[in-house]
Amino acid sequence: MLSGQRERPGSYLQNIKQRMMKDFFSAKTALSVLYFVAGMVILGGIWALISKITKNEIPSPQATWLVFKEVMHNPMQNDPDYKGIGTKLFSSLGRVAIGFGLGSLLAIPLGLLMGSSKIAMNMVNPIVQILKPVSPLAWFPLGLAIFQDSPKASIFMIFICSLWPTLINAAFGASHIPQDHKNVSKAFGFSKFKYLTKILLPFSLPHIITGLRLSIGVAWMVIVAGEMLSGGQGLGYFVWEEGFNGGNIAKILVAIIIIGAVGSLLDRCFTWLQARFSYAI
Amino acid sequence: METTPPNNITAIADELLEEAISSDKSIEVKNVTVSFKTAKGVYTAVKEIDLTVQKGEIITLIGHSGCGKSTLMGTISGMVKPTSGEVIANGKKVSAPGPDRGIVFQNYSLLPWLTVYKNIYVAVDSALKDKTAAEKTALVESNLKMVNLWEHKDKLPGQLSGGMKQRVAIARAFSINPKILLLDEPFGALDALTKSSMHVELLKLWNLDHREKTIVMVTHDIEEAIFLSDRVVVMNNGPAATIKEIVDVPLARPRNKKDIVHDPVYMTIHDKLLNLLIDKFSIDD
């Protein structure tokens, strides 16, 4: 599967290197960096203005920067009474990984099955349509009731919420296999297994990755809410306890920046995967 | 006592003769009708078609778009089930596609995520289950070399031109060594120059194989039909299309693309086919 691309990792990496070197020094890159900086300056300006209007109720960028540095001091601290921001971040990421991983493990095969079989589609689709619009927060108490454990409840919440985009996209991919590809399978007598590995999976893969990208976005959004409810752990707890209850708004802003940056990084990873596994027809 | 009744001898002789004749038959289309259920009712694509193709013969099915030539071809490949009648290929009734019939599709139908090499290998691997891995590899290699694409074996289909893609598709069909080769408008999407060289290349492959493969090709190109085939089957317009006429092409092989067009026989056949296919040759003034 996609082995054509995998067989030449050397030349592939070399290509990327060359492209990056070329791009890095091009005027186009310089310009886009300039625009990025300009955008940040404008945002910072608005932020500073709001801070001034609210009489520092919302801390200024400089004040937030000081808190950021303080928060970033010894981020991996992992004492029973205090955990650093990095430790909190990784505990959040860990729960997202487990929930998202389990969700994907169920969503991918089920989606492919739905896309391949009308019966499975008619059976599962109505259920999906009913469960999909339910707010992630509604699943939390149910998880709590099932597992009697709040971290597990937030994993459960992420599991449920990261199911749908992957499921729907996998089903879409599997149900849109071109007749041409099916004809090849018929003409040369592909076995069921060969059809699965040489046609169904490779064709659906870009769709699955799109689904995963949407799912990880949802999961990352949901984890903060989950941890606010469950307490004790992770970035959500940091926002709620140390930020809001601790009366330190700057910490909330720092958390927002970190959450946003990590979220966009996760998205980037899946965008990269998408580009990696797309193919020209 | 050696008093075998003479009528028995002739019966046996007849049977042997029958067998000898029928073994030369590659494809028999017997009274085939194909109808589809559509929203507007039953649509009959082809009606009561009879056609016999000899072993090693090249025939083309020609007709206007939508005349059912691809449908007729589909009944031979096993992709389309006849509503009534039957098709016998290589002495067996066709019920599904099989490795004794290689198919080349109009739009190449290569799997875009597999390299040229792997595209052919999966086909060989599926169709020829009894062969060893080494034999399969050898088949893929020799067929890719035959169409001069060995140096492109690691490319993905998206990196190839239309002509190259179709050569891969042809190599794929040849590599499972089918007795019958079915080509559904294989060169329809190619430019005229590429098309010409593909014709020569196809005949070269057929020659290399001692002209033993039966080739049935769907086309709407008259020149292509005459250059390649022994017989041209002209179809009526659908719905319920039938065979209008079968035109023999008694031109000696190997045929030369450049010289053949000056051959009076070629010109006669060309005119005949034009008359069969086109009603109007100029505008009324």
CA distance, residue A275 to nearest chain B CA (Å): 13
Residue matched to tokens 């290589």: B90
Q: Structural domains in chain B?
A: 27-94+220-278 (3.40.50.300)
- Identify the contact set of chain B against chain A, taking CB-CB distances under 8 A: 77, 79, 96-99, 102-103, 105, 107, 109-115, 118, 122-123, 125-127, 154-159, 172, 176
Residue A8's alpha-carbon distances to A11, A190, B141, in angstroms, are: 6, 27, 20
Distance (Å, whole) CA A88 – CA B230: 79
Strand, coil or helix: what is A42? helix
Which of B126, B172, B176 lies nearest to residue A190, judging by beta carbons?
B126
**Residue B251 and residue B263 in contact, taking contact as beta carbons nearer than 8 Å:** yes
Query: With an 8 Å Cβ cutoff, are B126 and A203 in contact?
Result: no
A1, A6, A188: which to substitute to probe chain B, counting the most B Cβ within 10 Å?
A188
| CB-based contacts of B46, cutoff 8 Å, min separation 6 | B32, B33, B34, B68, B71, B72, B235, B238, B240, B241, B242
pLDDT score, position A5 = 43
Compute the count of residue pairs across chains A and B with CB atoms less than 8 Å apart: 78
A8, A15, A183, A184: which to substitute to probe chain B, counting the most B Cβ within 10 Å?
A184
CA distance, residue A1 to nearest chain B CA (Å): 7
Residue B233 pLDDT > 70, yes or no?
Answer: yes
DSSP structure string for chain B = -----HHHHHHHHHHHHHHHHHHTEEEEEEEEEEEEEETTEEEEEEEEEEEEEETT-EEEEE-STTSSHHHHHHHHHTSS--SEEEEEETTEE-SS--TTEEEE-TT----TTS-HHHHHHHHHHHH-TTS-HHHHHHHHHHHHHHTT-GGGTTS-GGGS-HHHHHHHHHHHHHHT--SEEEEESTTTTS-HHHHHHHHHHHHHHHHHTTT-SEEEEEES-HHHHHHH-SEEEEE--SSSB-EEEEEE----SS--HHHHTT-HHHHHHHHHHHHHH-S-SS---
Query: With an 8 Å Cβ cutoff, are B122 and A188 in contact?
Result: yes
How large is the ipTM? 0.81
Residue B54 pLDDT > 50, yes or no?
Answer: yes
**Residue A226 and residue A236 in contact, taking contact as beta carbons nearer than 8 Å:** yes
Residue matched to tokens 């317009």: B237
CA distance, residue B99 to nearest chain A CA (Å): 6
Distance (Å, whole) CA B64 – CA B39: 24
Query: With an 8 Å Cβ cutoff, are B122 and A190 in contact?
Result: yes
Token pair recorded at residue A16 = 């990327």
Distance (Å, whole) CA A201 – CA B133: 24
Tell me whether A197 touches chain B (CB under 8 Å).
Answer: no
For residue A57, the surrounding DSSP H or E stretch is none
For B18-51, give one letter per residue: b (16+ CB within 10 A) or e. Answer: eeeeeeebbbbbbebbbbeeeeeeeebbbbebeb
B113, B115, B117, B128: which to substitute to probe chain A, counting the most A Cβ within 10 Å?
B113
Peptide bond into B112 cis (omega under 30): no
Which of A2, A8, A188 lies nearest to residue B113, judging by beta carbons?
A2
Tell me whether A9 touches chain B (CB under 8 Å).
Answer: no
**Residue B202 and residue B228 in contact, taking contact as beta carbons nearer than 8 Å:** yes
Distance (Å, whole) CA B166 – CA B106: 8
Tell me whether A148 touches chain B (CB under 8 Å).
Answer: no
Token pair recorded at residue A241 = 């306890």
Query: What mean pLDDT comes out for the span B115-129?
Result: 94
User: Regarding beta strands B101-104 and B180-184, do their DSSP bridges make them parallel or antiparallel, or are they unpaired?
Assistant: parallel
pLDDT score, position A238 = 85
CA distance, residue A280 to nearest chain B CA (Å): 5
pTM of the model: 0.79
DSSP structure string for A125-137 = HHHHHHHTTS-HH
Q: pLDDT category, B88, cuts 50, 70, 90?
A: very high
Q: Within a 13 Å sphere around the CA of B233, how many CA atoms are in the beta-carbon half? A: 25
**Residue B172 and residue B182 in contact, taking contact as beta carbons nearer than 8 Å:** no
Query: With an 8 Å Cβ cutoff, are A4 and B154 in contact?
Result: yes
Which chain B residue has the Cα nearest residue A201?
B113
**Residue B242 and residue B48 in contact, taking contact as beta carbons nearer than 8 Å:** yes
Tell me whether A199 touches chain B (CB under 8 Å).
Answer: yes
CA distance, residue B125 to nearest chain A CA (Å): 9
User: Regarding beta strands B25-38 and B84-89, do their DSSP bridges make them parallel or antiparallel, or are they unpaired?
Assistant: antiparallel
Distance (Å, whole) CA A126 – CA A133: 12
Distance (Å, whole) CA B110 – CA A184: 8
Residues of chain B found within 8 Å of residue A8, distances taken between Cβ atoms: 154
Token pair recorded at residue A178 = 């071109």
Distance (Å, whole) CA B79 – CA B71: 9
| Model confidence pLDDT, tens digit, residues B252-263 | 888 888 889 899
List the beta bridge partners of residue B102: B181
Q: How many Cβ atoms are within 10 Å of A246's Cβ, its own excluded?
A: 12
Query: With an 8 Å Cβ cutoff, are A188 and B176 in contact?
Result: yes
Q: For chain A, where do the domains classified as CATH 1.10.3720.10 start and end? A: 64-276
Q: What is the mean pLDDT of each run of 10 residues along chain A (281 residues)?
A: 45 67 73 92 94 89 89 78 82 93 96 94 94 90 90 92 95 94 91 94 94 94 87 82 81 90 94 82 52
**Topology given in CATH for the domain delimited by A64-276:** MetI-like fold (1.10.3720)
Residue B247 pLDDT > 80, yes or no?
Answer: yes
Strand, coil or helix: what is A178? coil
pLDDT score, position A280 = 56
Taking alpha carbons only, the member of A230, A220, A209, A237 closest to residue A99 is: A220
pLDDT score, position A2 = 44
Which of A4, A186, A190 lies nearest to residue B156, judging by beta carbons?
A4
**Residue B45 and residue B238 in contact, taking contact as beta carbons nearer than 8 Å:** yes
Q: H helices of A117-200, where?
A: 118-131, 136-147, 150-161, 163-175, 179-187, 192-195
Residues of chain B found within 8 Å of residue A198, distances taken between Cβ atoms: 111, 114, 122
Tell me whether A3 touches chain B (CB under 8 Å).
Answer: yes
Residue B174's alpha-carbon distances to A198, B123, B152, B213, in angstroms, are: 21, 11, 18, 10
Tell me whether A203 touches chain B (CB under 8 Å).
Answer: yes
CA distance, residue B116 to nearest chain A CA (Å): 9
Residue B246 pLDDT > 90, yes or no?
Answer: yes
pLDDT score, position A25 = 67
* Strand arrangement, sheet containing B41-54: B41-54, B25-38, B84-89, B92-93
Query: With an 8 Å Cβ cutoff, are B113 and A184 in contact?
Result: no
Identify the DSSP state of A232: S
pLDDT score, position A220 = 93
- Average pLDDT of chain B is 88
Residues of chain A found within 8 Å of residue B96, distances taken between Cβ atoms: 186
Which of B77, B125, B157 lies nearest to residue A187, judging by beta carbons?
B77
Which chain B residue has the Cα nearest residue A276?
B113
Query: With an 8 Å Cβ cutoff, are A189 and B99 in contact?
Result: yes
B79, B108, B126: which to substitute to probe chain A, counting the most A Cβ within 10 Å?
B126
| Model confidence pLDDT, tens digit, residues B196-220 | 888 988 898 898 888 889 999 999 8
